[in-house]
Chains A and B, each alone.
Chain A
Amino acid sequence: MNTSLLKKSVLAALLAGTFFTAHAALKVGDTLPDLASFKLEGKLPDNLKGKIVIVDFWASWCLPCAESFPVLDELQKKYGDKLVIIGVNVDEKAPNMDKFLKKHPVSFTVVRDGERKLVAAVSPETMPTSFILDGTGKVRFLHGGFHGETTRKEYLSEIETLLK
Chain B
Amino acid sequence: MILPMKTKYFFLLASVVLLGATGCANVKPWEREHLADYTMRPDRDPLGIAQKEHIWFSREEASGGSGVGGGGCGCN
Contacts and interface: CB of A to CB of B under 8 A. Distances in A.
B3 A62 contact: no
A3 B3 contact: yes
Interface in A42-69: 57, 59, 61-65
A63 B31 CA distance: 15
B3 A127 contact: no
A61 B8 contact: no
B75 A127 contact: yes
A2 B36 contact: no
Interface of A: 1-3, 5-6, 9-10, 12-14, 16-17, 21, 57, 59, 61-65, 90-92, 116, 119-120, 123-129, 144-147
Chain B interface size range: 20 to 34
Contacts of A2: 1-3
Nearest to B9: A9
B30 A124 contact: yes
Contacts of B36: 61-62
Contact of A125 (B2, B19, B20, B29): B29
B49 interface: no
A5 B1 CA distance: 12
Contacts of B31: 116
A62 B15 contact: no
Given A9-B15, A126-B29, A62 B1 contact: no
Contacts of B30: 57, 59, 90, 116, 119, 124, 127
B65 interface: no
Contacts of A21: 23
Nearest to B26: A21
